[in-house]
Structure 1
Amino acid sequence: MSQTQQITNVLIVGATGSVGRLTVQAARRNGLHPRALVRDVQRATLLLPGVEVVPGDLENPTSLRRAVEGADAIVLTHGSGGDPRPDARAHIDYGGVRNILQSLGSARPRVALMTSIYATRTDVPGANPWKRRSERLLRVSGLPYTIVRPGWFDHAGPTQRRLVLEQGGTLDGGIAREQIAEALIRSLLTDSALGKTFELIATEGSQQSNWSELFGRLKADEGNSLDGALDPNDLPVGSEPADLRQDLDAVRSRLREAR
């Protein structure tokens, strides 16, 4: 992938969530202008004073078009946690990414997607394939991207600040939410993060400051692959439901049209 483009305006999806709010702060700290995509503008204005707020619903693609206009980058921190619907992961974790991508038209923003350290795990109770499916949509979109799979939120002590970035789906552990937010924003600003997918936790020690080196140690995703570098080959697209295969084709078609 080519080098990172100039980034100023960043759309934060899931901006009123626990990681989203910290991502807004991290964007500001790194000299960026954050815009918050929210369903409840009044609530968001109270939670994010001084931040540009734009209404939109991840389940309504039409409502997203104004939000994505002019965005140099998009950070996706949304999740279905707390939604009682049995199919919430399909509608939010996966469907939200699909709808954002479909709303872009010919725009090519840089994208940072937060999924889960268990995105490729089938041996963990409660793990599900919807976040992995959302990753696949982003990879086939042709957009410049980084996919961050954080460990357990805040399951790290105050002296556990040393970041561990690995691939292959076997890593486990916790990390502070503000570290996740910083990693998402730094991935937008660092050339060596382009086209990479990785798990992220924190262990004992001080946090590193050289982000280029941290990202640079990772293997890039293969250009024509649906999955991340070193991901297990245990979710063949041919066995996926027809509507999910159609979503992949639709995102690929958008890429061809954008060219």
Structure 2
Amino acid sequence: MDQQQKITDVLMVGATGTIGQLAVRVAQRHGLRPRALVRDVRRAARQLPGVDLVQGDLEDPASLRSAVRGVDAIVFTHGSGGDPRPDAREHIDYGGVRNVLSVLDGARPRVALMTSVYATRTDVPNASPWKRRSERLLRAAGLPYTIVRPGWFDHAGPTQRRLVLEQGGTIDGGIASEQIAETLVRSLLTDTALGKTFELIAEEGNEPSDWTGLFAPLKADAPHALDGALDPADLPVEAEPARLRADLTVIRTANTSGA
């Protein structure tokens, strides 16, 4: 596993969304330089004044090359919510990660990927496997990473500030949006978060003061594994559609050949 690398320039994917805007501000507060990937620069300039903006479309890999160039880290907070297309989750939640990873050209930024507390759940109505599949792409890439699976956005009261990090896909609950953003950025700056996948909710109690200690007890994902530590084995890779297995091969080859 990669050791902590110096992080300065951070590409924010999904920067104009609720969590994305908060993550941009958290990154600035920690002395990082966020670079926001946006489709509409003029609109984004109003939402993110003073932030470095780069135009790109997650569905167009060629448009992403300039966005990823020279960054030390990437934070993914994008999502397909609000997109009416029936296949939006495949094209955005999954395809966005695939397309960014496909244009790194041998670079090895540290990555914080936000998915969902239900990423591995098959018992929840309307739960989708696409975020779990996007996680597999990131693990296949062999980059230094942390995968955060937050619970329900802002379904937490004002005194629920104690962060609960669990693994195994059984926890449920809510969390404040700013806590999600803080956790994503902190994961880039904390060695004990490397190579770990976890669900994240908030319960009654105080804010964390020791982030190293917060991440430390978590079990790291197995080297070269495509699923997170303690993930249920109910979505076998060998049973996935051929095009998804091909994506894993392409991403693994593209990002490990120059490592």
Report the TM-score when normalising by structure 2: 0.99
Give structure 2 stretches of 5+ with no counterpart. none
Aligned match of 1:238 = 238
Q: How does 1:44-123 map to 2 (within 5 A)?
A: 44-123=44-123
User: What secondary structure, in the 3-state scheme, does the structure 2 residue paired with 1:170 have?
Assistant: coil
- CA shift, 1:258, in A, is 1.7
| Contact 2:104–2:255 (CA under 8 A) maintained in structure 1 | no
Q: Partners in 1 of 2:62 and 2:105 — Cα distance?
A: 12
1:138-193: per-residue Cα shift (whole Å, max 9, x none)? Answer: 00101000000000000000000000000000010000000000000000000000
CA distance in 2 between partners of 1:40 and 1:117 (Å): 30
- How well do the aligned residues superpose, as a CA RMSD in angstroms? 0.6
The percent identity for this pair of structures is: 73
Partner of 1:254: 254
| Cα drift, residue 224 of structure 1 | 2.2
- Secondary structure in 1 aligned to 2:257? helix
Deviation at 1:256, TM superposition (A): 3.4
Deviation of the 1:209 alpha carbon: 1.2
Return the alpha-carbon distance in structure 2 between the equivalents of residues 107 and 253 of structure 1. 13
The equivalent of 1:3 in structure 2 is: 3
> Residue 11 of structure 1: CA displacement?
0.5
Q: Which residue pairs with 1:166 in the alignment?
A: 166
**Other structure's SS at 1:92 match:** helix
Q: What does residue 196 of structure 1 align with?
A: 196
Q: Does 1:139 align with 2:149?
A: no
User: How far apart are residue 252 of structure 1 and its match?
Assistant: 1.1
> What CA distance in whole angstroms lies between the structure 1 residues aligned with 2:107 and 2:225?
22
Gap regions ≥5 residues in structure 1: none
User: What secondary structure sits across from 1:97 in the alignment?
Assistant: helix
Q: How does 1:12-31 map to 2 (within 5 A)?
A: 12-31=12-31
TM-superposed deviation, 1:97:
0.2
Q: Using the alignment, how far apart are the partners of 2:255 and 2:150 within structure 1?
A: 28
Q: Where does residue 128 of structure 2 map in the other structure? A: 128
- TM-score normalised to structure 1 length: 0.99
